[in-house]
Amino acid sequence: MTESSPTIDVATLRALRQRGTGPRLLDVRTRGEFQSSHIPGAHHVPLDALKERREELRQQLDAQTVLVCHSGARATQAARILAEAGLPHLRVLDGGMVAWQAAGGEVVRRGRPRWDLERQVRLVAGSIVLASVVGSVFLPGLQWVAAAIGAGLTVAALTNTCLMGTLLAKLPWNRGVARCDLPIAGVGENPADS
């Protein structure tokens, strides 16, 4: 991660939660991912809704807040966005939900399981590359589409961002209403767990 987004490991977060001193959790994955599984008590604000909810979040979050996503990349992006809004000390769950579940962390599962965004990216990118290479047998030059996808994936890895993931997050099955389920002034329960 970066210096602007300190991390917290799964063991430390679990210990804090077991003592009852656990920080507020803000899950920035897509609505579909969040509904499929999330850490109990986590609040949901999708990454693409953060900018429009900055003021609301600035009033309710503090340095004890931990940002959660699938693997840590989107939570790191969220930390940067929120640091620009005046919340520079938020932590990122190191390894995200992948690490949390691998360590046996408790999760809430609701609705039908959905593919996480990273898996969707692999399917779309792989399908485009395969179709381009096979199609280039009939349409010479089509292999350059596969090369463009490869270049895009390389840039995504080097910058720890993903244009394809950003675009896929906007599809109907990944989006919901851009809302913030944090309770007003920190009072109330997370409606996602009720």
Statement to judge: residues 188 and 101 lie in one domain: yes
Which pLDDT belongs to residue 182?
55
Which pair of tokens denotes residue 185? 């002034």
Q: What 3-state DSSP class applies to 142? A: coil
Q: Which residue range is the domain that position 137 belongs to?
A: 117-169
Q: How many other C-beta atoms lie within 10 A of the C-beta of residue 92?
A: 25
**Residue 102: per-residue pLDDT:** 94
Shared-domain flag, residues 81 and 128: no
Say which CATH number the domain at 46 has: 3.40.250.10
Split into its structural domains, the chain has a count of: 2
Residues 95 and 59 in one domain: yes
User: Exposed/middle/buried for 32, CB within 10 Å: 0-12, 13-18, 19+?
Assistant: buried
Same-domain check for residues 82 and 150: no
Residues 11 and 107 reside in one and the same domain: yes
Instruction: Mark whether 60 and 17 lie in a shared domain.
Output: yes
CB under 8 Å to 164, separation ≥6 — which residues? 121, 124, 125, 152, 156
Q: In the sheet where 7-8 sits, what is the strand order?
A: 7-8, 91-93, 66-68, 25-27, 43-44
Do 93 and 183 lie in one domain? The reply is yes
Same domain, 107 and 157: no
* Pairing mode of beta strands 66-68, 91-93: parallel
The 3-state DSSP class for residue 134 equals helix
At residue 194, the pLDDT reads 40
1 within some domain: no
Give the pLDDT score at 2: 41
Print pLDDT tens along the chain (194 aa): 344 579 999 999 999 998 888 799 999 998 888 988 899 999 999 988 888 888 888 888 887 899 999 999 899 999 988 888 888 888 999 999 999 999 999 999 887 777 777 777 888 888 899 999 999 999 989 989 999 998 888 888 787 777 787 777 777 777 654 445 555 333 333 444 54
Q: What are phi and psi of 65, to 5 degrees?
A: -75, 140
- Of residues 164, 130, 161, the one with CA closest to residue 146: 130
Domain annotation covers residue 2: no
Tokens standing for 55?
A: 């003021």
Give residue 11's Cα distance to chain centre.
20
| Residue among 182, 32, 179 nearest 109 (CA) | 32
pLDDT value of position 185: 37
